[in-house]
Structure 1
Amino acid sequence: MKVFWALGKVLTCLFWLVVLVNVLDPFIKPLHLLVNLAGALLLLVHLLELVLCNASLKGRARPWRDRLQILFVGIFHLQTIPAPAVPEAPHA
């Protein structure tokens, strides 16, 4: 599963590279608008993930680094964060 999450991170970074190249040197007429729209939508989704998962990052060692990675690769970073340990409830 780690390979899947790492591959997702790499592909997402490649997509952001395509968006950056498109901003610096726009592609042909209809394609540059679609790439910009896809980049804006992905940024919106990653911001939503960041807002929804912000509370769970407060106990982490470097929460700002985690927030930055969520902003870039989204769910692919969230899935690599280990779940917090839940203490055992005493049984009656």
Structure 2
Amino acid sequence: MKVFWGLWKLLSLLFWAVVAVNWLMPFVFPLNLLVQLAGGLLAILHLLEVLLCNRSLKDRPHQWRDRLKIVFFGVFHLQTIPAPTVSKASHA
């Protein structure tokens, strides 16, 4: 499963590279607007993911690195974060 998430992370980086190239050297007319729109929508979505998952990242040792990875990879990084362990409550 790690290979699967790693592949999606690689494809996400490729997408952000296309957005960056489009920003530096715009593509032909209809394509440049579509790439800008897709990049903007995905950036907004990833920032919302960071805001929604902020509380669960508080206990992580490298919180800011995880937030940055969520901005770039979104749910593909969230799936690689292990679930928090819940200790059993003692019933007295």
Does the pair score TM above 0.5? Answer: yes
Aligned to 2:74: 74
Aligned to 1:30: 30
Which stretches of structure 1, 4 residues or more, deviate above 4 A after TM superposition?
Answer: none
| Post-superposition CA distance 1:57-79 (Å, at most 9, x none) | 01110100000000000001000
Measured on the aligned residues, the alpha-carbon RMSD in Å equals 1.1
Q: Which runs of 5+ in 2 are unaligned?
A: none
Query: Number of aligned pairs?
Result: 92
Q: Identity of aligned pairs, percent?
A: 65
Hey, what's the Cα distance between the residues in 1 that align with 2:90 and 2:6?
Answer: 38
| Amino acid paired to 1:49 | E
Shift, 1:39, TM fit: 0.1
Q: State TM-score, norm by structure 2.
A: 0.96
| Amino acid paired to 1:80 | T
Counterpart secondary structure, 1:70 = helix
Hey, what's the Cα distance between the residues in 1 that align with 2:78 and 2:40?
Answer: 20
Shift, 1:91, TM fit: 5.5
